[in-house]
Structure 1
Amino acid sequence: MRFGIHSMVWVGEWSEPSARFAIESTARAGYDLIELTAMDPSQVDVEMTSQLLAEHRLGASVSLGLDASTDVSSEDEEIVAAGRQRLRDALHLVRDVGGDMLCGVIYSALRKYDSPATARGVANSQAVIGELADEAAQSGIRLGLEFCNRYETNILNTTGQTLAYIDEVGRPNVTAHLDTYHMHIEEAGMREPVLAAARAGRLGYVHVGESHRGPLGTGNVRWDDFLPALLEAGYDGVVTFESFSSEVVNPALSGTLAIWRNLWSDNHGLAAGAREFLAERLESPA
């Protein structure tokens, strides 16, 4: 396995000083990869980012959540087209920084919906993901569909829904992106979904986040079920630590995720603690 950390543990934006701080801090904390937040991929300086990654010998993945104006599950074709372009821009960012994974809520908007998804909306979403997967395959890039809780999407809330959606898309480089924060809310258990995704050959990316989005091991996520399941499944991909606090604010994401509380102020200590927590259970399991 490789261990990653979400860029918003460190910074809320991606200027040269903040990018340098985030990448240097990631390397110093012992991670292999940083997950770049690309709500607007055009705001990421590719050359600068690539140089910093190479300097510190780090890999990168890219994640984002679409918004109402780029929602590919909309029935409005102009909105779907805007979402298609946003996703292509994000895909090009992955390619240009040398990554191999584009993940997140890339199949709908990341927001609270007030009605169920429509058949036409789901079909639009699957069509865009299929097209994106075909382009991604040309650069050896996989897509990770991060299913989220019911308050953040109406398309994919569970592993089972995600695997069924992926079957409909029918592309080998489309995978399930598991996130313990969302699974803790929506799944009946934390072990079987991991094994189901692995059996289907679709376990592609993992976020580890606590039930309150703070330090690992201080909330209600059943780590003794989830982490051993990764080992049982033979998972050898990326496990990325994700945590949010009002200490670090991204205007486009913090409000969407309702990050109102200050769950930590020492991001260096937080990152080091998460790396140790994962190492004890995944590198040298009891």
Structure 2
Amino acid sequence: MPSRELTVAAPEFVGTGPLVDSLDRLTVLRDLGVSALELWSPWQVTEDDAAEVGAALRAVGVRVACVSSPSYLHGEETGTGRRLIESSIRIAHELGAGRVNTYFGHGGDGDDRHAARTYAGLVAPLLDQAAEAGVLIVLENEFDGFGHDPEHYDISRRAASLLHLAEVIDHPAFRLNFDAANFACAGEEVAKAAALLAPHVGYVHVKDVITVGPGHDGAAAGWNTYTDGDHTYQTVELGTGEVPWDDVLDRLEGAGYDGPFTLEPHCQPELLADQLAVSVAYLTNR
């Protein structure tokens, strides 16, 4: 049974609030043997307070595994996404985090191959910056959970198009953040996506989902719900949903993946401690 590096996404504790005001809530991590977090910028860390945040986390025995940001590149014309990624690279370097998590974006004309070429040009200078800083840029696959992409132009929702993108970019500082539940919500066959993309994965988000009826019919209290087009999904306890996690883990580790598995159960605060414990047990025993 492989030993897996388990981390937790900080927004599970504080949403979009500052983490330094809630460090006492991190005791659950120590109890579970988890010693690292994914932080979001600018919510939990910025360039201005990175040193302070890092010191506060070290004082409670927690390190930073990844710096994430709401950083779209494709179809984003203001430069905000690029600036967020540039800043996240500098933050990650200062905190000793090996990864910066990013997002593809929307817009364009629906031609996935054209979108891949455009994105590759936009991300190229950022990848050079990341390589110099000793940081990986990872791209998370998405679905239209926030209603920003009703045309489904974000190519990261399609495993085959994401594979093409990785092959076009072909840079040592670029990897994928494989979010199996996001693929399920995008209507992809998760096991096939894992088989296709495993050699390009450099980070993993861990949660589980089920499909629920129209109007959230059948949804249980305490869990988050999301829509993608005409479909509605709800997060559930890891291992009880539609994500074939055993297949995913086998594919990733068969391809040599040995990076973090970051827990983000997406449940309400009253369930969080128990669900993190369930997730740790699930990943430790498989």
Determine the structure 2 residue equivalent to 1:229.
Answer: 251
Counterparts of 1:103-252 in structure 2, within 5 Å, are 103-105=101-103, 107-108=104-105, 116=110, 122-151=116-145, 154-186=154-186, 188-198=188-198, 201-211=199-209, 212-245=234-267, 247=268
TM-score, length of structure 1 as denominator length:
0.76
Determine the structure 2 residue equivalent to 1:271.
Answer: 276
- Number of residues paired by the alignment? 250
Compute the RMSD of aligned alpha carbons. Answer: 2.7
Residue segments in structure 1 that go unaligned for 5+ positions in a row: 249-264, 282-286
Determine the structure 2 residue equivalent to 1:49.
Answer: 53
Displacement of 1:132: 0.9
**Which residue type is aligned with residue 181 of structure 2?**
Y
Determine the structure 1 residue equivalent to 2:75.
Answer: 74
Q: 1:42 to 1:188 in 2, by over 3 A?
A: closer
| Alignment check: 8 A CA contact 1:156 1:162 kept | yes
Q: Sequence identity, in percent?
A: 21
Q: Hey, which of these two has a bigger chunk of strand by percent?
A: 2
Distance in 2 between residues matched to 1:23 and 1:137, nearest whole Å: 31
Matched, 1:97 2:61: no
Distance in 2 between residues matched to 1:241 and 1:172, nearest whole Å: 25
SS for the counterpart of 1:273 is helix
Distance in 1 between residues matched to 2:54 and 2:121, nearest whole Å: 31
Distance in 2 between residues matched to 1:43 and 1:24, nearest whole Å: 26
Distance in 2 between residues matched to 1:126 and 1:58, nearest whole Å: 31
SS for the counterpart of 1:204 is strand
Distance in 2 between residues matched to 1:44 and 1:206, nearest whole Å: 28
SS for the counterpart of 2:101 is strand
| Alignment check: 8 A CA contact 1:72 1:124 kept | no
**Which residue type is aligned with residue 234 of structure 1?**
G
| Alignment check: 8 A CA contact 2:47 2:87 kept | no
Displacement of 1:33: 1.9
Displacement of 1:23: 4.0
Distance in 2 between residues matched to 1:192 and 1:134, nearest whole Å: 31
